[in-house]
Amino acid sequence: MKRIGTLLLVAASMLNAGWALAEQDSRMKVVVDEFGKLVDGRGVDRYTIENSSGASIQLTNLGAVILSLKVPDKKGKLDDVVLGFDEPAPYLTDSPYFGAVVGRYANRIDEGEFSLNGNNYSLATNNDQNHLHGGNLGFDKLLWDGQVVETDLGTGVRFSTVSDDGDEGYPGQLFVAVTYVFTDDNALEINYQSSAVDDTVVNLSQHSYFNLAGQGDGSILDHTLQINADFYTPVDRTLIPTGEILSVKQTPFDFTQPKPIGRDIKAKHEQLSFGGGYDHNWVLRRSEFEGQMHLAAVLTDPGSGRKMEVLTDQPGLQFYSGNFLDGSVTGKEGVAYAYRGALALETQHYPDSPNQPHFPRTTLRGGESFTTTTIYRFSVVN
């Protein structure tokens, strides 16, 4: 009872800190309807926000997933630029985390083991011998509570959930809220809030798969990418960081200047062979970081002219080049998602940080809160 009461107070304080229920005079059109039902009969909600230009985002309380994101190209044509499904069930059975919030711990933890306060914890090992994105029943597979909210930036949707002590092996009860706001200038702001009753580890991220040409429209190898990072964290054969922080200079991992993703992806480099391409964490420039929002990456599709800027206050960015997409998953509008047909740019703390003491801290102490923000900002270039 004490834990539940404390958690309710934490949840209330989060609402009072900046998120209020939507009023009748909402500045954007928001439609809430039923996305479908799960096999156990539970209904799944869908939230559609359309801005004044006609661009829109669809969200669901299943996994706090981004279902679709329609933004204009250089001719003003709207296309959906994220992968996903037309119904709820595949998000529980066939999804490689399409559009989901992943946690408690985004990315990998070596052999699902870590120590905290002198105690050893064993997590689910759902990625060969390692723990990935929260385990077998991570945040991506939960039905979150959803609310339409008004913020200083505009109308949004706030999803919240409670993770109990022991969920997937994690210690401590945790309250999590994720708020999506889609603005009139086609920026998607994602605000994450976590509060712990007892000490735990937390690393949340958004796992949308982007193709700026439109979902299912060719590969992303012609997309141009820039990452504002001079270093990355190399991995072993199981994609766990070795603990080293290496320079990107004179390697295929140098995206300090914009370049096509396909330019170096087939280079003979041990790290590319381990990941089957890019599936690594970049160390964002600390001189620009200092806990403040900064530009982490810029992605551009030359054909459509769409550009996506990624801004964050996080120290790391995982770039995944869709190496395990193989056409076996059929998504929205019956599209088979082909090899490297999309990519993910996941703002985060570094993988396996609980086992790497020199990596940025991911421990959240009981009674503390952690807030982080990421923005995906869309525009066009000619």
Q: Is 127 annotated as a binding residue?
A: no
Task: Please provide residue 30's backbone torsions phi and psi, each rounded to the nearest 5 degrees.
Answer: -125, 125
| Among 48, 69, 55, 44, residue whose Cα is nearest residue 157 | 48
Angle at 222 between CA 70 and CA 90, to 5 degrees: 45
Please choose, from the candidates 360, 361, 374, 358, the residue with its C-alpha nearest in 3D space to the C-alpha of residue 313: 374
285 is in an annotated binding site: no
Q: Is 244 a catalytic site residue? A: no
Q: At a CB cut-off of 8 Å and minimum separation 6, what does 145 contact?
A: 61, 159, 160, 161
b/e map 124-158, b = 16+ CB within 10 Å: bbbbeebbbbbbeebbbbbbbebbbbbbebbbbbb
Given 133, 207, 223, 280, which residue is catalytic?
207
In this structure, are residues 45 and 159 in contact, taking their beta carbons and an 8 Å threshold? no
- Greatest Cα pair distance in the chain: 59
Burial of 198 (0-12, 13-18, 19+ CB in 10 A): middle
| CA-atom Rg of the chain in angstroms | 20
DSSP structural state of residue 289: H
358: how many CB neighbours lie within 10 A of its CB? 8
Q: Do the annotations mark residue 108 as ligand-binding? A: yes
**Residue 113: active-site member:** no
* Ligand-binding site membership of 369 (annotated): no
Question: Binding residue per annotation — 107?
Answer: yes
Helix or strand (DSSP H, E) at 6:
helix 2-16
192 is in an annotated binding site: no
> What is the DSSP annotation of 157-179?
EEEEEEE-TTGGG--S-EEEEEE
The tokens for 281 are 């964490």
* Cβ count near 162 (within 10 Å): 17
Pairwise CA distance, residues 349 & 314, whole Å: 6
Question: Annotated catalytic sites, by residue?
Answer: 207, 346
Detail the residues annotated as belonging to a binding site. Answer: 107-108, 207-209, 279
Detail the residues annotated as belonging to a binding site for beta-D-galactose. Answer: 107-108, 207-209, 279
